[in-house]
Amino acid sequence: MDLKNKRAAKWKHHHFWVSFCHACQGLNTAWKEERNLRFHSMMTILVILIGFGLKVTLGEWLWLGLSITLVLVCELINTAIENVVDLIVGAQNNSLAKKAKDIASGAVLVASIFSLIVGFMVFVPHLWQIFFN
């Protein structure tokens, strides 16, 4: 949509709080519809509880926070891409639709592997201290 049409669109607005509410609505919809997002959110809570339990340092919290945020953001973008692809092709089998969805899922996988590595590097030394020192 060009800039002129965008401004003319009835649903377009320029208030920060309205945009904020729409973003929250988006999170709510993704939470209700995406099982993977709920799974990653549960993992986030688990990681935070373990972090408190092991008394990780501020620097370690930053790495954990970065990896958690990266996974959740990738999951949200993946969901948005899936919805746009479905909007365009519907139930039709399409090789480009498959490519787009699989690449978006690949982004989630890369972020998840990064977060697993970070979790391993942060938690293992703490667990080692507890069990072997």
Ligand X SMILES: Nc1ncnc2c1ncn2[C@@H]1O[C@H](COP(=O)(O)OP(=O)(O)OP(=O)(O)O)[C@@H](O)[C@H]1O
Each residue 8-37 as x (binds ligand X by CB under 6 A) or -, in order, gives: ----------------------------x-
Identified binder of ligand X from the candidate list 3, 17, 87, 93, rule CB under 6 A: 93
Whether 33 is catalytic is no
Name the residue whose CB lies closest to ligand X: 98
Please choose, out of 1-9, 14-22, 88-96, 114-122, the segment that lies near ligand X by the rule CB under 6 A.
88-96
State in angstroms the smallest separation of the CB of 113 from ligand X.
17
Among 75, 86, 76, residue whose Cα is nearest residue 23? 76
Each residue 47-86 as x (binds ligand X by CB under 6 A) or -, in order, gives: -----------------------------------x----
Residues 110 and 129: their CA atoms lie apart, in Å, by 29
- The secondary structure of 8-54, three-state, reads HCCCCCCCHHHHHHHHHHHHHHHHHHCHHHHHHHHHHHHHHHHHHHC
Query: How many residues does this entry show for the chain?
Result: 133
